[in-house]
A and B are shown apart, each in its own frame.
Chain A
Amino acid sequence: MRFDDVAQAVGRTPLVRLPRLSPPGRTIHLKLEGHNPTGSVKDRVAATLVREAERAGHLRPGRRVLEPTSGNTGIALAAICRVRGYPLTCVMPENTSEERRRVLEMLGASIVLSPATEGSNGSVRVARELAAADPDLFMPFQYGNPANPLAHHESTAPEIIADLPDVTAFVGGLGTGGTVTGVGKRLKRWNPDVRVYAAEPEYGDLVYGLRNLDEGYVPEVLDLEVLDGRIKVDSLRALEMTRRLVGEEGIFAGVSTGAAVAVAVRVADRLPEGAQIVALSPDGGWKYLSTGAYDPGDVRVIAERISGTLWA
């Protein structure tokens, strides 16, 4: 495959059967989004956010991009913005890992820190303030931008349909809601009987303790109507499945992948004999090596030790 630049080389990721983790009579397949150019599913989102903004006239030469993100979206946007010629600023909590900052800076992004105590909500607040004060700044804001689910509607889902026309169920993680909303709607348009399940990370008291119920947040791009179930997965079960994936299937994936596969296994027995289930792996395991998630030892002890930073 040849492409003109990195922005063109997004998608067409492998769909791999998990013969050892699939329950009897059901088949689980894993879509490996870590095979995208910057190593995550967010390459699809970043490419579509920028393309749609250019199409709508929000982005043109001379403008700059700003996004509250310390994770995969920032890295993906940094690569796309670099080749499209837009300076990028990422707003992130001050306790974000050194590795992430280094990768973003390497790709040419500048970084603004928000208070650690405010978590990702604080990054959103600071980014909104900066964007409001500077008319040359464009904030794609993946949590509220329809281009986010659109990316999955027009690329992720059609790839699944092409590779597995008799798909019966899809499982995606719940972050912005873009994946389950975009993929889910397109798969249900293909076949209304397709079931769509969300794997929701259970962050643990450290994260929830900072949240006030009155300022809770449901992303605008998440359409709860498309779901047939939403199942929470705690650090231990996500970690167990992530480690089984690498140990039994030879797939080195991030912890969100373990959560999605755990939900795929759980819903498998409520689906008919012969069901073909697709779970989405948002990224590979490399970025999480330093968390200790893959260290030898008792998984319960490891889960306990790192549950505060696992999903961050």
Chain B
Amino acid sequence: MAVVRIPTVLRPQAGGQARVEVEGTTLGEVLRALVAAHPALDERLLDGDRVRGYVNVFVDDEDVRYLGGLDAPVGATSEVTIMPAVAGGAR
């Protein structure tokens, strides 16, 4: 099963977990399985069928925007990371 890493700000909506295991072969399937297990995540994470603004999603470290969005393939050992959009540290 793929592992989804939950950012600190969303952990209260994920039962306090930092990592959640879910089934799915595409990012869309994985996120739907995630919000099915933790419904409170739905409106924080998704805007209808899209991932909300200011949220970056990576599959195996690659931004899903460049992998087909919700169609991005997710492997059995993939890591899906949800991160808040942050501008450069001390630049």
Binary contact readout A187-206 vs B (1 if CB under 8 angstroms, 0 otherwise): 00000000000001111010
Tell me whether B55 and A213 are in contact (CB under 8 A).
yes
- Expressed in whole angstroms, the minimum distance between the Cβ of B78 and any Cβ of chain A is 14
Assembly CA distance A236 to B65 (angstroms)? 24
**Of A92, A176, A212, A213, most B-chain CB atoms within 10 Å:** A213
- Cross-interface CB contact of A230 among B7, B44, B62, B87, cutoff 8 Å: B62
Tell me whether B62 and A231 are in contact (CB under 8 A).
yes
* Contact count band on B: 20 to 34
Q: Does A165 interact with chain B (Cβ within 8 Å)?
A: no
Segment among A3-11, A216-224, A291-299 that sits at the interface with chain B: A216-224
Q: A202-B83, A207-B86 are in contact. Are A69 and B91 (CB under 8 A)?
A: yes
Tell me whether B8 and A209 are in contact (CB under 8 A).
yes
Q: Does A70 interact with chain B (Cβ within 8 Å)?
A: yes
Q: Does A138 interact with chain B (Cβ within 8 Å)?
A: no
Contacts of A175 in B (CB 8 A): 87-89, 91
Contacts of B56 in A (CB 8 A): 200
Tell me whether B91 and A227 are in contact (CB under 8 A).
no
Q: Does B12 interact with chain A (Cβ within 8 Å)?
A: no
Binary contact readout B71-91 vs A (1 if CB under 8 angstroms, 0 otherwise): 000000000010111111111
Tell me whether A203 and B86 are in contact (CB under 8 A).
yes
Q: Does A98 interact with chain B (Cβ within 8 Å)?
A: no
- Cross-interface CB contact of A176 among B66, B85, B91, cutoff 8 Å: B91
Assembly CA distance A118 to B90 (angstroms)? 13
- Expressed in whole angstroms, the minimum distance between the Cβ of A238 and any Cβ of chain B is 12
Contacts of B9 in A (CB 8 A): 208-209, 211-213
Tell me whether A216 and B61 are in contact (CB under 8 A).
no
Q: Does B10 interact with chain A (Cβ within 8 Å)?
A: yes
Q: Does A72 interact with chain B (Cβ within 8 Å)?
A: yes
- Expressed in whole angstroms, the minimum distance between the Cβ of B36 and any Cβ of chain A is 20
Contacts of A312 in B (CB 8 A): 89-90
- Expressed in whole angstroms, the minimum distance between the Cβ of A122 and any Cβ of chain B is 12
Q: Does A151 interact with chain B (Cβ within 8 Å)?
A: no
- Expressed in whole angstroms, the minimum distance between the Cβ of B31 and any Cβ of chain A is 15
Tell me whether B55 and A120 are in contact (CB under 8 A).
no
Tell me whether B90 and A71 are in contact (CB under 8 A).
yes
- Cross-interface CB contact of A174 among B53, B88, B90, cutoff 8 Å: B88
Q: A214-B54, A227-B66, A232-B61 are in contact. Are A71 and B89 (CB under 8 A)?
A: yes
Q: A228-B66, A230-B65 are in contact. Are A208 and B87 (CB under 8 A)?
A: no
Tell me whether B55 and A207 are in contact (CB under 8 A).
no
Q: Does A109 interact with chain B (Cβ within 8 Å)?
A: no
Q: A208-B7, A211-B84 are in contact. Are A231 and B61 (CB under 8 A)?
A: yes
| Partner-A contacts on B (CB < 8 A) | 7-10, 44, 52-56, 58, 61-63, 65-66, 81, 83-91
User: Could you list 6 examples of A-B contacts with CB < 8 Å?
Assistant: A42-B91, A120-B89, A143-B87, A201-B89, A207-B86, A219-B87
| Further pairs besides A143-B87, A216-B84: 8, Cβ < 8 Å | A70-B90, A120-B90, A211-B86, A213-B52, A216-B53, A216-B54, A219-B87, A231-B62
**A-B pairs with lowest CB-CB distance, top 8:** A175-B88, A216-B54, A230-B63, A71-B90, A216-B85, A209-B8, A175-B91, A311-B89
